Amino acid sequence: MRTTDLLAFAVGAARGNRVRTALLMLAMAIGVAAVVTLTALGDGARRYVVREFSAIGSNLVIVLPGRTETGGINPGSFVSSTPRDLTVDDARSLQRAPAVQRVAPLTVGTSELAAGGKLREGMVVGSTAELIEVRQFRMAQGQFLPREDWNRGSQLMIIGAKLRAELFPNEAALGRFVRVGDRRFRVIGVLESTGSGLGMNTDELAIVPVSVAQAMFNTNTLFRILVEARNRDAIEPAKRQVTQILQQRHDGEQDVTVITQDAMLATFDKLLRTLTLGVAGIAAISLAVAGILVMNVMLVSVAQRRSEIGLLKALGASGGTIRGAFLVEAALLSSMGALFGYALGLAGAALIRALYPVFPAYPPDWAVLAGLGTALFTGVLFGVWPARNAARLDPVTALARR
């Protein structure tokens, strides 16, 4: 039998039973669509996180209080066991590291912000003038915190775009006062709206000098120290130097964690890739189910078409021809269903993007290829048994049934 004839025969057989064909293709389509859409979600999450991380500033080295990994025994281990807090002096000391460009201390607290009779819970960040460069903020109005002594800050405040809109909906914010607790801050700048970054929505932040924030929250510790390396190549040296300086300051004990943005990014990237892979695996189960359905339907089809198979044998079809005809039919139905499912999956991903524009839900190429490939593979694999059954049918008994 010629290949084109085989194809035409399979198409004819598929069209001969439209309901069966439609159901089978639907099952395959749902499987592939699940793979495409779910991996689009997973990979979208990965891209989203990667983008968010990139948004918090480049060449960034972040210092956290406390140690999250074992560093072996050092002299400090015998002296104390509680980690020291990070202080503003720690932050200041990092400025002398050669690989470091800028340092911005960070302390964080939530408080009630009041202005013109309006009250709002908000996140107050204490930092210094360097923060604008380190975090690459842009000003919408006014200016950022002035350069001044880190220990003697003025009662000045920078607010995010959303905070501005809520506290001063109909008036200029610059020059106005915001009350936090028993302190009054003069608003000197409004940040440009950027959306979120690293879990902190900068649009909702209120930034004040670090010393004032510490006094307000009655603490002398820092939440983080943000360090900007001189350039990309200086990230690793900066990390080493920062660790070294802080170890010296903390009596030789390594009680801080220094992470680079790249490391975090790589971790999240890996994590979310694995997640996507897992999700794809779960979706692939539906493909396997679809494959079993193909087998089931083809087996029923062989049973229903016994007399046709018997006839084909009587007309001189070899076992190979009949096996081929059924395999081609299974492959055809699977691949059509898979293509249909691919379109469906793309539509699903497009729908997600339309509903959540910030979420870049595009299916990764590998998932698309794997999905289509698996669909075709399972379709053919599960078509083998029915096709063999068909080829082995005894023509006499097959023809006897009407």
Partner 1 sequence: MTAQIELQGIGRVFHLGDSVVHALAGVDLRIEPGEYISVMGPSGSGKSTLLNVLGLLDRPDAGRYLLEGRDVTTLSADEQARVRSRRIGFVFQSFHLVPRLTAAENIALPMVLAGLQSRERDARVRQALDGFGLAERAEHRPDQLSGGQRQRVAIARATIMQPALLLADEPTGNLDRATGDEVVRLLEQLNADGVTLLVVTHDAALGARARRCLRMEDGAIRHDQRQDAASHAHD
Residues that bind partner 1 (CB under 8 A): 1-2, 5, 9, 12-13, 15-16, 307-308, 310-321, 395-396, 399, 402
Q: Which is nearer to partner 1, 16 or 116 (CB)?
A: 16
Comparing CB distances to partner 1, the nearer of 369 and 396 is 396
Between 41 and 317, CB nearer to partner 1: 317
User: In the complex, what is the shortest distance from the CB of residue 23 to partner 1, in angstroms, rounded to a whole number?
Assistant: 18
Tokens of 74: 């050092």
* Least distance between partner 1 and beta carbon 388 (Å): 13
Q: How far is the CB of 337 from partner 1 (least distance, A)?
A: 21
Minimum distance from residue 362 beta carbon to partner 1 (Å): 42
Number of residues assigned to the chain: 402
Q: Which is nearer to partner 1, 274 or 318 (CB)?
A: 318
Residue among 12 and 195 whose Cβ is closer to partner 1: 12
Report the alpha-carbon distance of residue 358 to residue 287 in Å, rounded: 30
In whole angstroms, the minimum distance from the beta carbon of 16 to partner 1 comes to: 4
Work out how close the CB of 343 gets to partner 1 at its nearest, in angstroms, rounded to a whole number.
28
Q: Rg of the Cα trace of the chain?
A: 33
In terms of C-beta distances under 8 Å and separation of at least 24 residues, what long-range contacts does 270-279 make, across chains too?
272/42, 272/43, 272/45, 272/46, 272/49, 273/46, 275/42, 275/45, 275/46, 276/39, 276/42, 276/43, 276/45, 276/46, 276/364, 276/367, 277/42, 278/42, 279/38, 279/39, 279/41, 279/42
**At how many degrees (to 10) do helices 261-304 and 319-355 cross?**
140
Residue 79: CA count within 13 A, CB half-sphere: 11
Contacts of 392 (CB under 8 A, 6+ apart): 319
Between 272 and 393, whose beta carbon lies closer to partner 1?
A: 393
